[in-house]
């Protein structure tokens, strides 16, 4: 599952994607089941890919595909690892018939050579640019809110997209140099602890939970009044697993694709509507005292509505609320159950 922006009506819809040798197919999900015929296709011959793509501030994990007819598609992934995996596979399919280009891609990916004319002052000046610079946001770490910060992975993405670095390894090295020269500094537990590492390559974290800010921006906002529907503490746990799953609604019993985020300390499972711009949960619950189990795929279990695809599992909260969820495969269902169980 990936959210896709329509190239005619510019809204976001979640689709099921299948990558073939020369095209990328996407399908609608109706009633908890993938439709037999694809909703559309993206032809990869002559297609160009942009990753990371930072054209949307609220969607930092985008892949942009531009066909040879200049039609643009934006696909959003759930994590940096998922995005990079999709981008690598799509790039391989685009260049499958051009072995020389494939070799060049691998050479660029594996090479490490800082450009001699790179100026750290120039990079910082570009980072400050109000329109093309790195986006500063409010972030939460260990219950504290920090304003005007950026994550380690966001800086790596920005350095690559602005051609200051070719690979993530090179971008991490550049970011470490910015930190060594006191242009940026770590803030929060995750990134601060990394600076104590004896290995220079591990001092800066290419991570979406590691926070950094410009060295002179040291103000911290610890206000807890901004979160209305969810307590700050339940959203401050370490992210254990995240991904797209299909969930049955409690009232209408319809099936919707949701982005699920599993957190520990405290143990919560939240779900988000990936078609919305705001990155706020639309639901969630504590995992303490929950029961989680797989459901058999032969027939429709009691409590489940619709002709579902299968790979179902159920979570029962300590308040006896039943959640019915579909994974995309049996292997993914096992992974989610195994990740949730230790937190119950």
Question: Helix H segments across the chain?
Answer: 80-94, 99-110, 120-128, 152-161, 168-180, 189-194, 330-340
Q: Do 108 and 168 form a contact (C-beta atoms < 8 A)?
A: no
Q: Is the pLDDT score of 117 beyond 80?
A: no
Q: What is the 3-state secondary structure (H, E, C) of 284-316?
A: EEECCCCEEEECCCCCCCCCCCCCCCCCEEEEE
Residue 263 forms part of a structural domain: yes
Highest mean pLDDT among 13-17, 110-114, 237-241: 13-17
Specify the CATH number for the domain of residue 314.
Answer: 2.30.29.30
pLDDT at site 219: 37
Question: In whole numbers, what is the pLDDT of the chain averaged over residues?
Answer: 83
Q: What angle do CA 283, 285, 287 make, to 5 degrees?
A: 150
Q: Under DSSP, is residue 83 helix (H, G, I), strand (E, B) or coil?
A: helix
Same domain assignment for residues 237 and 337 = yes
Residue finishing a domain among 184, 214, 244: 214
Answer with the one of 186, 214, 242 that is the final residue of a domain: 214
Judge if 256 and 324 occupy the same domain.
yes
pLDDT of residue 294 exceeding 50, the answer is yes
- Domains: count for the chain: 3
Whole-prediction pTM: 0.67
Q: Tell me: do 258 and 332 sit in the same domain.
A: yes
Average pLDDT (318-325) is 92
pLDDT of residue 103: 55
- 309 in any annotated domain: yes
| pLDDT score of 228 | 37
pLDDT band at 218 (very low <50, low <70, confident <90, very high): very low
Q: Of all residues in the chain, what percent carry a pLDDT higher than 70?
A: 85
- Highest mean pLDDT among 140-144, 217-221, 268-272 belongs to 268-272
Residue 73 structural domain: 15-99
Residue 299: predicted pLDDT: 61
- pLDDT tens track for 28-66: 988 778 888 999 999 999 999 998 888 887 788 899 999
């Amino acid at each position: 599952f990936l959210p896709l922006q329509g190239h005619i009506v510019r809204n976001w819809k979640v689709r099921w994607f299948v990558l073939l040798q020369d095209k990328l197919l996407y399908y609608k999900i109706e009633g908890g089941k993938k439709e037999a015929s694809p909703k559309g296709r993206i032809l990869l011959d002559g297609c160009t890919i942009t990753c990371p793509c930072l054209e949307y501030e609220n969607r930092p994990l985008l892949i942009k595909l531009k066909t040879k007819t200049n039609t643009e598609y934006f696909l959003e992934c759930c994590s940096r690892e998922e995005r990079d995996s999709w981008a690598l596979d799509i790039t391989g399919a685009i260049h499958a018939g051009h072995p020389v280009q494939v070799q060049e891609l691998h050479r660029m990916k594996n090479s490490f050579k800082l450009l001699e004319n790179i100026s750290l002052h120039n990079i910082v000046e570009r980072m400050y640019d109000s329109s093309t610079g790195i986006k500063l946001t409010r972030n939460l770490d260990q219950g504290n809110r920090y304003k005007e910060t950026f994550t380690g992975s966001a800086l790596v993405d920005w350095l690559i997209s602005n051609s200051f670095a070719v690979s993530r390894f090179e971008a991490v090295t550049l970011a470490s140099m910015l930190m060594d020269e006191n242009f940026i500094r770590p803030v929060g537990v995750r990134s601060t602890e990394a600076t104590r590492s004896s290995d220079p390559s591990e001092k800066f974290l290419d991570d979406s939970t590691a926070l950094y800010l410009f060295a002179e921006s040291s103000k911290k906002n610890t206000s807890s009044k901004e979160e209305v529907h969810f307590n700050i503490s339940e959203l401050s746990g370490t992210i254990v697993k995240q991904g797209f799953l299909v969930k049955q609604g409690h009232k209408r019993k319809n099936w919707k694709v949701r982005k699920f985020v599993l957190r520990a300390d405290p143990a919560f499972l939240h779900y988000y509507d990936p078609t919305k711009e705001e990155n706020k949960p639309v639901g969630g619950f504590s995992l303490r005292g929950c029961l989680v189990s797989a459901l058999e795929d032969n027939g429709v279990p009691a409590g489940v509505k619709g002709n579902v695809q299968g790979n179902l599992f159920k979570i029962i909260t300590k308040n006896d609320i039943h959640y019915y969820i579909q994974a995309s495969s049996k292997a993914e269902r096992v992974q989610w159950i195994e990740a949730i169980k230790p937190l119950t």
